Amino acid sequence: MDTKDLAEKGLKLRKDMVGAAAVEQRMNTLGEFGEPLQHIINAYAYGDIWSRPGLSLGVKSLAMIAMMAAANRRAELRVHLKGALKNGCTPEEIREVLLLVALYCGIPAANEAHRAAVDVLSEGKAI
Amino acid sequence: MDTKDLAEKGLKLRKDMVGAAAVEQRMNTLGEFGEPLQHIINAYAYGDIWSRPGLSLGVKSLAMIAMMAAANRRAELRVHLKGALKNGCTPEEIREVLLLVALYCGIPAANEAHRAAVDVLSEGKAI
Amino acid sequence: MDTKDLAEKGLKLRKDMVGAAAVEQRMNTLGEFGEPLQHIINAYAYGDIWSRPGLSLGVKSLAMIAMMAAANRRAELRVHLKGALKNGCTPEEIREVLLLVALYCGIPAANEAHRAAVDVLSEGKAI
Amino acid sequence: MDTKDLAEKGLKLRKDMVGAAAVEQRMNTLGEFGEPLQHIINAYAYGDIWSRPGLSLGVKSLAMIAMMAAANRRAELRVHLKGALKNGCTPEEIREVLLLVALYCGIPAANEAHRAAVDVLSEGKAI
Amino acid sequence: MDTKDLAEKGLKLRKDMVGAAAVEQRMNTLGEFGEPLQHIINAYAYGDIWSRPGLSLGVKSLAMIAMMAAANRRAELRVHLKGALKNGCTPEEIREVLLLVALYCGIPAANEAHRAAVDVLSEGKAI
Amino acid sequence: MDTKDLAEKGLKLRKDMVGAAAVEQRMNTLGEFGEPLQHIINAYAYGDIWSRPGLSLGVKSLAMIAMMAAANRRAELRVHLKGALKNGCTPEEIREVLLLVALYCGIPAANEAHRAAVDVLSEGKAI
């Protein structure tokens, strides 16, 4: 597939998962300087990896939450907490992942992730 | 529940998931010095968190693989790759998680996790 | 010991170290969603590990500061800087740990930890 | 060389690279408590390592940006983005490093570093 | 560009930088399971990012060394130490980057990276 | 103080703590390439920071163990486990630190550190 088509296909899925307004705001903030990174995100992350079959979007989102909590990447954690709700995960499923984070990455990682989750879940009225 | 009962309950699940021989070897290696840590693992990790309902053991295993690859913890990654197979995950599902690792934690994290996965999957004849 | 008693015992020590108001605010913020994590903190962290003899609370606090600076966990670092003062550590002792952080985890880790320490120490009138 | 002379020599280079006002503000914020750390920064980092010949200041700055993005150290990343401009790096050169960050440390690391870069480059009118 | 062409173009550059035999051994070790990851490396990392103009391959290699030392990724560090020599970096330039690692990521990161560098440089007869 | 004297003073303390043979072997392995790093270790780490009064060598060692376990730096962790014994720490004190690691940095960090500790303590006949 041509990489431009891959980027378009990915951008569509990304907007579905994260929300069109949020995606556009991000792309605008970084402007021309950010175009190659946006291409990586749209084409390679969403157009290729997220679009692959073999694992449901919901389970992918739960794996992303685990990963971002472990890697101490707060801004991205929030994106994928929202994405998890969009992809049909329940607050309980998200919490079970964060409790594994507590035991296997430590309490501080779980603490920060819980705060982010409570924020995102309240905004989305999920709790 | 009494913490001793919690530890016993957890040890049972841990042996189911990781294999009784592997668990006993680990507990023996660390001897008396390692007893409080083994209590944490048996009672708090397996007796409490892993035993909670709300998310299947298979999805928990996939989240663990994501977390351990992100956190650069190779020995534990292998344990949970084996656990994932025991908990019914397919090689393909494991791979989809590792491809998210590549994009969101970087190629070197995915490279190491792929090597571990190929080792564990070959031993288990899963590939 | 029953895990409920462990949690109660731990909550008492936690409030002694971190301050009752701060602990209650935290528990309220996370609400029902946060209850299993609060149980981990109260029962397993404070009720079990922090309550063990064998190392003074002050030295445990210094080890926590080292760990949280290394692990890049700022919110938790502040909690344990306050806990260190409560547990009788002097500003000088805290600084000696942060200078080891500078050499062994790098200047940026020490910079952030110094900023947090100066904040916490000024609030507590310790400097 | 006497360590006091090393610190003076380093402080001069540090002020050249980071700006005298920014350096003084930092040293004042941390006060007496921060003096040993400032000595490490002035004497050992700037007086010794940054002053060594063998690699241009510009390439050192690009390596610093790579390192700070990888290590998730945002405040220090901003310092060295500014330093990179002062040391003659172009926005394009900085971006190429951040794209390597995307592939080898993951998209979230590159995202945060892009946001910091766009901020710093706009302030400096470089973009 | 079609992603297959991107992967081919990238594979060529990758073999130039890392050595054809080493690349083929890696691709064989991971087998069919590793194909999507190899596509990420060939097409997205080497075909896209490494192939971009705007920064010399040598400086990119030095940034990679900084990043891999910071991120504690030893196997990948060795790959890029070899790549740095291939891309024309001198042992002295590599060392200057590793000394920045010592001050900004801590002595243990620099220690491990020095050991890897001395190994790779001796094999390549560069020291 | 002249930096050469600082390095000599530090080297003496380093050999006391880590063992003269081990230090010399390390310095030889890295040869001329490693001289600036050895200067950082001898002069800045041991000559300056480790030599400062204000915190006992034993407590500094315990903080180092916490830090190295958190930072996932295994080789350096072993060095400082040995140093802790030399500085008068007991196996029990070391274990209490590692149990904090389990709760605050996660079980895998504590697992690896326990394995290293059991090795080092057996060699030193401390357990």
Rounded to whole angstroms, how far apart are CA atoms A82 and A62? 11
Q: Is E55 in the A-facing interface, judged by CB distances under 8 Å?
A: no
pLDDT digits (tens, 9 = 90+) for E44-85: 999 999 999 999 999 999 999 999 999 999 999 999 999 999
C47-77 core/surface letters (b: 16 or more CB in 10 A; e: else)? bbbbeeeebebbbbbbbbbbbbbbbbbbebb
* Contact check, Cβ <8 Å, B60/A96: yes
Q: Kindly list the distances between the CA atom of residue E85 and the CA atoms of E19, E88, E100, in Å, as whole numbers in the listed order.
A: 12, 5, 19
pLDDT tens-digit profile, chain F (127 residues): 899 999 999 999 999 999 999 999 999 999 999 999 999 999 999 999 999 999 999 999 999 999 999 999 999 999 999 999 999 999 999 999 999 999 999 999 999 999 999 999 998 777 7
Alpha-carbon torsion (D100, D101, D103, D105), positive or negative? positive
Distance from CA of D38 to the nearest CA of E (A): 13
| The pLDDT of residue C64 is above 80 | yes
Q: In this structure, are residues C4 and C47 in contact, taking their beta carbons and an 8 Å threshold? A: no
Report the percent of chain B where pLDDT is more than 90. Answer: 95
Distance from CA of C88 to the nearest CA of A (A): 23
pLDDT at C127: 76
DSSP character string of A60-82: HHHHHHHHHHHTT-HHHHHHHHH
Q: Is F124 in the A-facing interface, judged by CB distances under 8 Å?
A: no
pLDDT at B127: 76
* Contact check, Cβ <8 Å, A107/F109: no
pLDDT at D101: 98
ipTM metric? 0.96
| The pLDDT of residue B126 is above 90 | no
Distance from CA of F2 to the nearest CA of D (A): 4
Confidence of residue A120 (pLDDT cuts 50, 70, 90): very high
CA nearest to C94 within chain D: D33
- Cβ neighbours for D35, distance < 8 A, ≥ 6 positions apart: none
- Cβ neighbours for D48, distance < 8 A, ≥ 6 positions apart: D6, D10, F40
pLDDT at F124: 77
CA nearest to A70 within chain C: C71
All residue ranges of chain D with pLDDT < 70 are none
Confidence of residue A79 (pLDDT cuts 50, 70, 90): very high
pLDDT digits (tens, 9 = 90+) for B50-81: 999 999 999 999 999 999 999 999 999 999 99
Q: Is A24 in the B-facing interface, judged by CB distances under 8 Å?
A: no
Confidence of residue C23 (pLDDT cuts 50, 70, 90): very high
The two tokens of residue B40 are 């944490």
